[in-house]
Amino acid sequence: MNDCVFCRIVAGEAPATKVYEDDILCAFLDIRPIARGHMLVVPKQHATELEDLDAELGAYVFRAGHRLALAVRRSTLAADGANLLLNDGTAAFQTVPHVHLHVIPRKHGDKFRF
């Protein structure tokens, strides 16, 4: 059994609410959301940190994040903006060792900032 929780989600072996999926990546809701609709975009191929990720694949992950950041404005979430965040490495407080891009919908009046 794969001990990477995001690989297990990708494989459908662990539960998650997937919001987008193609051959290359999937996006699912964060289990401890900072804001409603907080999502993680993950490449299907395991890469622990950006150092291990093909640059073209990294660009593809960001492209999906870009699209989702626009989609949350048009969706029922009615976001006014979004934070796109990637914690790369334990020094940057990455806690799950499989590259993931956070897409965090934001509303005017939200009280927290990064």
Chain positions contacting ligand 5GP, by CB under 6 A: 5, 16, 28-32, 40, 87, 93-96
- The nearest distance, CB 8 to ligand 5GP, in angstroms, is 8
Quick one: CA dihedral 25, 103, 3, 49, positive or negative? positive
- The nearest distance, CB 81 to Zn ion, in angstroms, is 29
- The nearest distance, CB 21 to ligand 5GP, in angstroms, is 14
- Show the beta-strand stretches assigned E in 3-110: 18-21, 25-29, 39-43, 81-85, 101-106
Single out the catalytic residue among 38, 98, 100, 102: 100
38 is catalytic: no
Q: Give the closest residue to 84 by CA, choosing from 58, 62, 106, 103.
A: 103
Quick one: CA dihedral 46, 98, 21, 74, positive or negative? negative
What would the x/- binding string for Zn ion be over residues 3 to 32, using CB under 5 A? -x-xx-------------------------
Binding interface with Zn ion (CB under 5 A): 4, 6-7, 46, 98
